[in-house]
Chains A and B, each alone.
Chain A
Amino acid sequence: MESNGCSGNCPGCENTSREEDRRSVLWWLLGGGAIASLGSFFYPVVRFLNPPRITEAAVNEVSAGKVQDLKPNSGKIVKFGTKPALLVRLSDTEWRAFSAVCTHLNCTVQYRDTTQQIWCACHNGTYDLNGRVVSGPPPNPLEEYAVGLRGEEVIISRNA
């Protein structure tokens, strides 16, 4: 490291070896600090670019299980984004899906196979299979979703 040809401790010489040491410590400090800090910036960036395992962001459609899972004239609750949805199988080929949030006081509705209507247990609100209010306190109909079949999978989707 004697780039200036100095052996150190020469009288009148500017660069004593202690000076050299201090200088090299300083450069190590600077270099180390710079690299460490830059590393602490780039580490998150690299992790950021790595796609997370669940790649889908928006919920405009959700898989509601297999066709065989639901018998005709029955319904089940499925998570649609952050809210529950009701999937109803009317017959072998006919499916309906609605938001399962009752428009009265937000309880979760259910399908009643005995009356073939959608019913809310909280205050006896009843909707028909088009989501329209038949009786009881709900002020508005249930939002209807589209149901499609992708092979054996039932897909509930909504137009935003």
Chain B
Amino acid sequence: MRPCLLAVFLVPAFLAAQPRDTCIECHAAMEGAIQKPALLIKDDIHAANKLSCSDCHGGDRYSDDPSVAMSAAKGFVGKPKRTAIPQLCAKCHGNPDFMRRYQPQQRVDQYELYKTSVHGKRLAEGDENVATCIDCHSVHDIRAVKNVLSPVHPLQLPDTCGRCHADTNRMAKYGIPTNQLENYRSSVHWAALKKGDLSAPNCASCHGNHGAKPPEVSSVSAVCGSCHVLFAQLYEKSVHQPIFSGASGGGGCIVCHSNHGIQQPSTAMLVGPNAVCSTCHDPGTPGAKTAAQMAQWIDGLGGALKHSENVLAEADKYGMEVSEAQVKLADGRENLVKARVAMHAFQPAEMQKPVEAGMAVADETLRAGQAALHDKDIRRLGLAVSVFFIAITVVAIFLVIRRLEANGSGYLEPTK
């Protein structure tokens, strides 16, 4: 009897704890396009923070009467115009006091940045074709950036940008290429992202997100250099910097490495049929000679390290303990990395030290591997010696037995 009484008081109390949202209640019961938002809203981060449709669209969320709930008197604005969307979002997201209640650390300058972007400028001129907040962040089912289902999560972002920027029809009137997404998908950065390194750059990392704009030619190496510091530092001091960063220079790093479809670099960029250097430096020129020298050093060191690795792996296969040398090899590989960095000074002298250090490691580990293989042979020799002595003893015992039992001694015949 008593539990029932308790329930009578608990149920209304429970209902009261969840504030009513008649917008969702009514629209969820409808059909077609006006039902969709009410269904999507369950995944929305605003709804999870107890905000309602009315916080963006205006109106009264507690009223059952549509004419009240959606009255202009209650501030209802209906579906906002595309050109008004950024301001609508900025009403809260640009208000530090408001945002402090939910996420004090979150930035509140997204709208200001947006106004400086290509998208923002064009929208201000009335071009509704460009991206607004809801095109990237979605609407009604807005998820946090770090939620992997969010369209602006690092893994989803390229597709989101590509929705427009890879669409040739859409981009036709702006005259910008649409192959960026395809190129990016072939790049080492996307490969790193896919492998789980969420710090690898996506579109927004270089172009900015809210203030999206392609970096100016003179600032490309600064953008790349925000992660690839040493390369940028060496490049800045090198002979190529003034040449590539002028107005018609081509854009610094991207001259050799491309912008979106950045591939794993190799010495094939220095020499060979697909070399980048030879696009400017004719064969026989000092530049070509430098490229050849650097390529030879890098390949030489890489080859030596690979050779050591193979010898050590062979010794390992035979069961010899070579883990220490294998670890030392990592030092050698670091020197190879340093050599490839030093290449960006475009001066052989810079490269010489890491190459020599790396070759020394390759040499040392090779000798360790060969010593291990030699030890393996010694072990087998020792085994052969031991087995030989054992064999002699066994044969001797066999002969002793034969001699002993030659006349049938050692056996007891049955009495029967």
Contacts and interface: CB of A to CB of B under 8 A. Distances in A.
So, do A and B actually touch in the complex, CB under 8 Å? yes
Interface of A: 23, 26, 29-30, 32-34, 36-37, 39-41, 82-83, 104-105, 107-108, 121-124, 136-139
Given A37-B393, A108-B334, A29 B399 contact: yes
A34 B390 CA distance: 7
22 contacts: A26-B399, A29-B399, A30-B393, A30-B397, A33-B390, A34-B393, A34-B396, A36-B389, A36-B392, A37-B386, A37-B392, A82-B323, A82-B324, A122-B337, A124-B227, A124-B228, A124-B229, A136-B199, A136-B227, A137-B197, A137-B200, A137-B227
A40 B385 contact: yes
Contacts of B341: 121
B374 to A, nearest CB: 18
A108 B337 CA distance: 11
Contacts of A39: 389
Contacts of A40: 382, 385-386, 389-390
A104 B192 CA distance: 11
Pairs of residues from A and B, 8 with the lowest C-beta to C-beta distance, nearest first: A137-B199, A33-B393, A33-B392, A30-B396, A37-B389, A36-B389, A40-B386, A29-B396
Contacts, number: 67
A139 B230 contact: no
Given A26-B396, A37-B393, 11 more contacts: A26-B400, A26-B403, A29-B396, A30-B396, A33-B389, A37-B389, A82-B323, A82-B327, A104-B199, A123-B227, A136-B227
B187 to A, nearest CB: 15
Interface in B327-361: 327, 334, 337, 341
A34 B199 CA distance: 68
Given A104-B197, A137-B199, A29 B337 contact: no
Contacts of B327: 82-83
A152 to B, nearest CB: 28
Interface string B284-302: 0000000000000000000
A104 B198 CA distance: 10
A124 B226 contact: yes
A37 B199 contact: no
A42 to B, nearest CB: 11
Most buried by B among A105, A121, A139: A121
A73 B44 CA distance: 50
Contacts of A26: 396, 399-400, 403
Contact of A123 (B228, B323, B324, B403): B228
A23 B47 CA distance: 102
A41 B392 CA distance: 15
A124 B385 CA distance: 58
A23 B200 CA distance: 83
A38 B73 CA distance: 106
Contacts of A107: 334, 337
Contact of A37 (B197, B229, B390): B390
Contacts of B337: 107, 122
A1 B227 CA distance: 91
Given A33-B396, A82-B323, A107-B337, A23 B389 contact: no
A124 B232 CA distance: 11
A26 B403 CA distance: 10
B205 to A, nearest CB: 11
A110 to B, nearest CB: 11
A69 B399 CA distance: 71
Contacts of B399: 26, 29
Contacts of B228: 123-124
A34 B397 CA distance: 10
A38 B300 CA distance: 51
B397 A23 contact: no
Nearest to B399: A26
Nearest to A137: B199
A138 B227 CA distance: 12
A108 B332 CA distance: 12
A3 B199 CA distance: 92
Contacts of A34: 393, 396
A83 B324 CA distance: 10
Nearest to B391: A33
A26 B230 CA distance: 78
B204 to A, nearest CB: 15
B392 A32 contact: yes
Interface string B180-213: 0000000000000000010110000000000000
A123 B198 CA distance: 13
Contacts of B230: 121
A105 B227 CA distance: 13
Contacts of B323: 82
Contacts of B394: 33
A119 to B, nearest CB: 9
B385 A121 contact: no
Nearest to A101: B330
Interface string B381-410: 010011001101111110110010000000
A29 B323 CA distance: 44
A33 B393 CA distance: 4
Contacts of B400: 26, 30
